[in-house]
Amino acid sequence: VSLISVFQISISFFICFRETWDGDFLLKGMPGVVDKTFQFRNEEDLEKWIVTSDKDNEEGQSTCQLTINQNGKGLFTGNLCLDVPKDGRINKTGYCNIRTVRYKKSFQRDAHYDWGMYTHLVMRVRGDGRSYALNLSTSSYFDQTWNDVFTYVLFTRGGPYWQYSRIPFSKFFFTSKGRIQDIQHPVPLFNIASFGITLGERTPGPFHLEIDYVGLEYDPSHTEKFAYELYRLPSSIAAT
What CA–CA distance (Å, rounded) separates 18 from 4? 21
pLDDT in tens, the chain (240 residues): 567 776 776 777 666 666 555 555 556 778 889 999 999 999 999 999 999 999 999 899 999 999 999 999 999 999 999 999 888 888 889 999 999 998 877 667 788 899 999 999 999 999 999 999 999 998 777 788 888 999 999 999 988 999 999 999 999 999 998 899 988 999 999 999 999 999 988 899 999 999 999 999 999 999 999 999 887 777 766 554
CATH annotation of 30-217: 2.60.120.430
Total-model pTM: 0.86
Determine phi and psi for 18, rounding to 5 degrees: -65, -40
3-state secondary structure of 46: helix
Question: Domain spans of the chain?
Answer: 30-217
**94 CB neighbour count, 10 Å cutoff:** 21
Please choose, from the candidates 44, 46, 47, the residue with its C-alpha nearest in 3D space to the C-alpha of residue 74: 46
